[in-house]
Structure 1
Amino acid sequence: MRETITAPEVASMLGLSEWSVYDLARRHEIPHVRIGRRVLFRRSSLMAWLESREAASVAADLKPAGKIRRLR
């Protein structure tokens, strides 16, 4: 199995559009490497990135809510 995958493969794996994957890479929000004009993604880096995003979303859900303001 190849260690690097292409944007269409990432899109299929994550259930996103190919355009969304390229946009995430352009904004440096997803780990990638450019080789010439090609944008490649390492499977292991992508899975680690996905796990960290999932952990962050769970942690955000567990934060206690702020004070509740009463309406007068």
Structure 2
Amino acid sequence: MSEYEILRIQLLKTLVQMEEQLLVSIGKEKFQSNTTADSGDGNSTLQQAELQMKVVFSVSELSNYLGVSTDCIYTMVRENQIPFVRVRRRIIFYRDSINSWIHTNTPYPK
């Protein structure tokens, strides 16, 4: 084996270990905290994992979760097309309500 191949294998092992540590830390955060603060670290995979664990979404979090713009979310809220809760001026969405809304509004192939 060449030195390049050995370094490549070591790098892959390190990456796998780092990914496992990240998944473990995400699992710990899930049970230790129920906060809804954004992480802002820029890692889209990590952000998606955090969104999957959240119970309540803000408008921007829901737009990331659904893959649509915030303008689209505000329009659906204004037209009562999506389940939401208004707390004073803040609009929040429960993940379970959104998931059931998705399942009831998704056309199934015949």
Task: Give the alignment's TM-score, normalised by structure 2.
Answer: 0.49
From 26, 29, 35, give the equivalent of 2:87.
35
Bigger fraction of residues in helix = 2
Instruction: Give ranges in structure 2 of 5+ residues lacking alignment.
Output: 1-33, 35-53
Pick the structure with more strand per residue.
1
Following superposition, the deviation at residue 4 of structure 1 comes to 1.2
Q: Which runs of 4+ in 1 moved over 6 A?
A: none
What percent identity do the matched residue pairs reach? 28
User: Greater CA radius of gyration, 1 or 2?
Assistant: 2
Aligned residues: 58
More contact order relative to length (CA 8 Å, sep ≥ 6): 1
| DSSP-derived class of the 1:31 partner | coil
Gaps of 5+ in 1: 63-72
RMSD: 1.2
User: How far off its partner does 1:46 sit?
Assistant: 0.3
TM-score by length of 1: 0.73
